[in-house]
């Protein structure tokens, strides 16, 4: 076993004050073996595990019960290789089973631990792109939609491994962080629901405020959205396939399919264009606060663009609003502004923005 330099951040001692030994470089063949164990039919569909989210998922379409015998057993501590590449995982990823014994589809390569290990430590280590990317770049082969793992090459690769005592220390620490993050996410979700309810009450005027002297504010006024509009353009119309580039070397190109709900630009299946093409098409460049309206698909559906990053638009109506205040952004999230617009045959402010909004005087 080859000794290697310790990581930059380490726990110096265990709970008993004992120093941890140096991390050691070990081949994966010393840690795992390829599992060829199949389901003998005793494990039912209720124990099917989806590797993508590491959850039991019994609602899969299996025509015959015997087909489950083609599934691999997947026990606690086993790792499975999931070969879909993504922005986060360039060559696929390993996922450890930490939820219970079950089965997975035969398309997944399963490896079983053969050395003492800490479940939580390896859950994080084996799934880390920073730890595993170089190994997977050398031990996978790219196919159409995913990467295939070459088992013999993978098992020859090495990884830095701490002692079992330090594995446990690290695993417990990371698990505690995850639990705190989960608790914070739940609190955030509760606060967001409270905010959503308050927004609805405020902008429906069910709830009104008074000034610091206890006086009523003036009544809200109805105003046409067109009075807030500077100009209306249509994004680039045409084919721009030859201008698409990688995300790290281009500008976001928003298409109809990226228009989500209210303030949401959907991040799935986004495209990026070259800076040169972006600079050339100035009228379709987006600014924070623009209203984007679909011309096709869900025609008339509007989204408020709130991202700070530069972007361009493909065949989408772009409404440049004179000024956007925080109040307008809050109002846009409620049901009091209809974000579905009627598009005329010819694009013009009167046809698109003839609807009214109710607003606080002077707020927009």
Measure the CA–CA gap between 67 and 41, rounded to whole angstroms: 9
Digit-coded pLDDT (tens) for 85-108: 888 999 999 999 999 999 999 999
Question: What is the rounded average pLDDT of the residues 336-347?
Answer: 57
Nearest 10 degrees: CA dihedral of 131, 132, 134, 140?
Answer: 180
In degrees rounded to 5, what are phi and psi of residue 41? 100, -10
Digit-coded pLDDT (tens) for 163-177: 999 999 999 999 999
Question: Which residues does residue 210 pair with via DSSP β-bridges, in sequence order?
Answer: 216
Measure the CA–CA gap between 271 and 256, rounded to whole angstroms: 12
Residue 76's nearest CA partner among 57, 107, 98, 54 is 98
Say whether 161 sits in a helix, a strand or coil.
strand
Looking at the chain, the whole-number percentage of residues with pLDDT higher than 90 is 50
Q: What is the mean pLDDT of the chain?
A: 84
pLDDT at residue 329, rounded to an integer: 61
Confidence band of 265 (pLDDT split at 50, 70, 90) = confident
Per the CB < 8 A criterion, the answer to whether 85 and 146 are in contact is: yes
The two three-digit tokens of residue 127, written as one number: 């799934």
Measure the CA–CA gap between 161 and 158, rounded to whole angstroms: 9
DSSP state of 53: T
The two three-digit tokens of residue 145, written as one number: 């939609």
Residue 32's nearest CA partner among 77, 74, 89, 72 is 77
pLDDT at residue 288, rounded to an integer: 83
Q: What angle do CA 44, 96, 68 make, to 5 degrees?
A: 20
Confidence check: pLDDT of 351 > 50: no
Confidence band of 115 (pLDDT split at 50, 70, 90) = very high
Q: How many CA atoms lie within 13 A of 122 on its CB side?
A: 25
Q: Is the torsion defined by CA of 324, 328, 330, 332 positive or negative?
A: negative
Tell me the CA distances in angstroms from 274 to 70, 242, 279, one per residue in order: 47, 9, 9
Per the CB < 8 A criterion, the answer to whether 317 and 293 are in contact is: yes
Question: What is the rounded average pLDDT of the residues 241-249?
Answer: 87
Higher-scoring residue by pLDDT: 38, 264: 38
Confidence check: pLDDT of 224 > 70: no
Residue 78's nearest CA partner among 92, 95, 93, 53 is 95
Per the CB < 8 A criterion, the answer to whether 80 and 95 are in contact is: yes
Confidence check: pLDDT of 132 > 90: yes
pLDDT at residue 269, rounded to an integer: 83
The two three-digit tokens of residue 179, written as one number: 């639990």
Tell me the CA distances in angstroms from 65 to 40, 43, 294, one per residue in order: 11, 10, 47
Question: Which residues does residue 69 pair with via DSSP β-bridges, in sequence order?
Answer: none
The two three-digit tokens of residue 41, written as one number: 């039919």
Higher-scoring residue by pLDDT: 10, 1: 10
Confidence check: pLDDT of 318 > 70: yes
Confidence check: pLDDT of 354 > 50: no
Q: What angle do CA 116, 119, 122 make, to 5 degrees?
A: 90
Tell me the CA distances in angstroms from 72 to 29, 58, 141, 152, 251, one per residue in order: 20, 15, 22, 19, 43
Residue 150's nearest CA partner among 92, 89, 87 is 92
Digit-coded pLDDT (tens) for 12-33: 777 787 888 889 999 999 999 9
The two three-digit tokens of residue 278, written as one number: 């972006």
């Amino acid at each position: 076993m080859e000794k290697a330099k310790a990581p930059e951040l380490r726990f110096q001692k265990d709970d008993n004050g004992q120093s941890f030994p140096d991390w050691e470089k070990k081949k994966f063949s010393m840690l795992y073996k390829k599992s060829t164990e199949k389901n003998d039919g005793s494990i039912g569909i209720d124990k099917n595990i989806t590797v993508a989210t590491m959850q039991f998922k019994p609602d899969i379409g299996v025509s015959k019960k015997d087909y489950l015998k083609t599934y691999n057993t997947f026990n606690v501590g086993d790792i499975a290789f999931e070969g879909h590449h993504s922005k986060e995982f360039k060559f696929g990823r390993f996922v450890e089973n930490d939820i219970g014994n079950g089965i997975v589809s035969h398309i997944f390569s399963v490896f079983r631990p053969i050395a003492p290990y800490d479940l939580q430590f390896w859950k994080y280590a084996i799934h880390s792109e920073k730890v595993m990317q170089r190994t997977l770049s050398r031990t996978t082969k790219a196919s159409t939609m995913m990467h295939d793992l070459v088992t013999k090459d993978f098992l020859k690769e090495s990884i830095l491994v701490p002692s079992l005592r330090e594995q446990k220390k690290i695993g417990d620490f990371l698990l505690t962080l995850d639990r705190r993050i989960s608790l914070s996410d739940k609190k955030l979700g509760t606060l967001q629901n409270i905010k959503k309810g308050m927004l609805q009450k405020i902008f429906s005027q069910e709830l009104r405020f008074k000034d610091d002297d206890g006086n009523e504010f003036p009544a809200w006024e109805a105003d046409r959205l067109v009075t807030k509009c500077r100009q209306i353009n249509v994004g680039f119309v045409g084919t721009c396939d030859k201008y698409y580039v990688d995300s790290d070397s281009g500008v976001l190109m928003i298409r109809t399919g990226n228009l989500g709900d209210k303030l949401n630009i959907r991040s799935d299946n986004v495209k990026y264009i070259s800076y040169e093409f972006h600079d050339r098409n100035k009228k379709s460049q987006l600014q924070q606060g623009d209203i984007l309206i679909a011309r096709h698909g869900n025609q008339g559906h509007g989204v408020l663009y709130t991202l700070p990053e530069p972007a361009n638009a493909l065949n989408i109506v772009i409404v440049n609003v004179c000024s956007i205040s925080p109040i307008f952004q809050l109002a846009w999230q409620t049901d009091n502004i209809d974000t579905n617009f009627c598009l005329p045959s010819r694009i013009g402010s009167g046809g698109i923005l003839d609807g009214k909004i109710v607003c606080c005087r002077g707020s927009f």
